[in-house]
Amino acid sequence: MKHFVSMKHLSAAELLQLVQLAADIQAQGVSAYRQQLFAANLFFEPSTRTKMSFTVAERKLGLEVLDFAAEASSVTKGETVYDTAKTLQSIGASVLVIRHPEEGTAGMLAEKLDIPVINAGDGKGEHPTQCLLDLMTIYQEYGRFNGLKVVIAGDIRHSRVARSNALALQQLGAQVFAAGKPEWMDASMDLPVLSMDEAAAQCDVMMLLRIQFERHDKKEAAAGYLEEYGLTKAREKRMQPHSIIMHPAPVNRGIEIDDSLVEAPRSRIFRQMENGVAARMAVILTLLEGRGMQRGYNFDKREAVNS
């Protein structure tokens, strides 16, 4: 694995190895790199969880962080994304993390740069590290993916999280369904569509999505959404006893999900956030050690089995 830009390029075995490595890191800790290494974080869109968890992950690994801000860079003078990334590679970055509003940006940089590129979200394309922490959260709960019923509910047409998760979960043998407003579904993903009442009753995992109000009229999108398409307290009561609630956040409380359910016993929303650091450490370690950068400690190689 030279880059981490899409779930399309990963086998079930590779996905499971990353999930297991992230779990090992979380359980055992990890030694930092001894040589001086730099991680460049290029975020062209606002971010709290993704950006901060990458920063924590990098520092835990002993990497020094090059924290890029577009508004204070030569981007304001017309510099291209590629020239910015190439500059950071040239001055010594060992890995580059990119979030950009245009789909395909991370893939373009991966083709042109000599250092590993990690996609931290590209437009409506993919968000593979969010997917990995979601997989980690589901695996902690069930110890498997095969046969699980996962419902992705909400603004699917605009969601890079939905796309990455659908690809990875299907690769791992889960049954993936969609739910939400008909006009917010994405036919290209070819997912069976359920009503929210059907979804709540059938799912093992209810994966809610943020309404991307920046792409909709806010008042129109929010009006009556919870009652018709969100997770209400009544729907939560219909869920199976073992079923869990997930959401990549930020959460529009009282719209996608009843406020009281965000931290309900079956909610794993804040566990997802906690898992983000270990998941991103696992990706960075895999990429850097694939380039021969060694620490003083290595986890045993594990044979991944899709149970």
132 lies in the same domain as 85: no
Check whether residue 219 and residue 163 sit in a common domain: yes
Was 127 annotated as part of a binding site?
yes
Residue written as tokens 């890079």? 160
Average pLDDT, 10 consecutive residues per value, the chain (307 residues): 94 97 96 94 93 97 90 79 96 97 96 97 95 98 98 95 97 97 94 97 97 78 91 98 97 95 98 98 96 62 46
What was the pLDDT predicted at 23?
Answer: 97
**Same domain as 119, residue 159:** no
Residue 157 and residue 238 in one domain: yes
Q: Is 2 annotated as a binding residue?
A: no
Is 70 marked as binding a ligand?
Answer: no
**Which amino acid does the sequence have at 177?**
F
pLDDT value, residue 27: 96
9 annotated to a ligand binding site: no
**Cβ–Cβ contacts within 10 Å for residue 300, how many?**
5
34 is in an annotated binding site: no
Report the pLDDT value the prediction gives residue 83, as an integer from 0 to 100.
95
* 237 labeled binding residue: no
Looking at the fold, whether 141 and 38 belong to one and the same domain comes out as no
pLDDT of residue 72: 61
In a domain, 295, yes or no: no
Question: Do 246 and 132 share a domain, yes or no?
Answer: yes
Token representation of residue 171: 């690769």
Q: Is 291 annotated as a binding residue?
A: no
Whether 117 and 134 map to the same domain: the answer is no
Q: Can you list the positions of beta strands (E) in 127-271?
A: 149-153, 175-179, 193-194, 205-208, 244-246
CATH of the domain at 153: 3.40.50.1370
Q: What is the pLDDT of residues 181-213, one digit of tens each?
A: 999 999 999 999 999 999 999 999 999 999 987
Same domain, 139 and 248: yes
Residue 299 lies in a domain: no
Per the domain annotation, does 296 fall within a domain? no
Q: Helices 12-28 and 128-142 meet at what angle, rounded to 10?
A: 70
Query: Which range of residues forms the domain containing residue 17?
Result: 7-126+276-290
* pLDDT for the residue numbered 69: 77
Domain membership of residue 91 (yes or no) is yes
pLDDT of residue 17: 97
Q: Is 196 left (phi over 0), alpha (psi -120 to 50) or beta?
A: alpha
Q: Is 230 inside a domain boundary?
A: yes
Q: Structurally, how many domains does the chain consist of?
A: 2
- Whole-angstrom distance, CA of residue 307 vs CA of residue 119: 28
Question: For position 77, what pLDDT does the model report?
Answer: 80
Asked, for residue 301, whether it belongs to a domain, the answer is no
**130 among the known binding-site residues?**
yes
Domain annotation covers residue 252: yes
Q: Is 104 in the same domain as 141?
A: no
Residues 111 and 164 in one domain: no
- For the record, the structure tokens of 261 come out as 């359910």
- What confidence score (pLDDT) does residue 293 get? 79
Q: Are residues 251 and 132 in the same domain?
A: yes
Please tell me whether residues 120 and 132 are part of one structural domain. Answer: no
126, 4, 1, 104: which is closest to 54 by C-alpha? 4
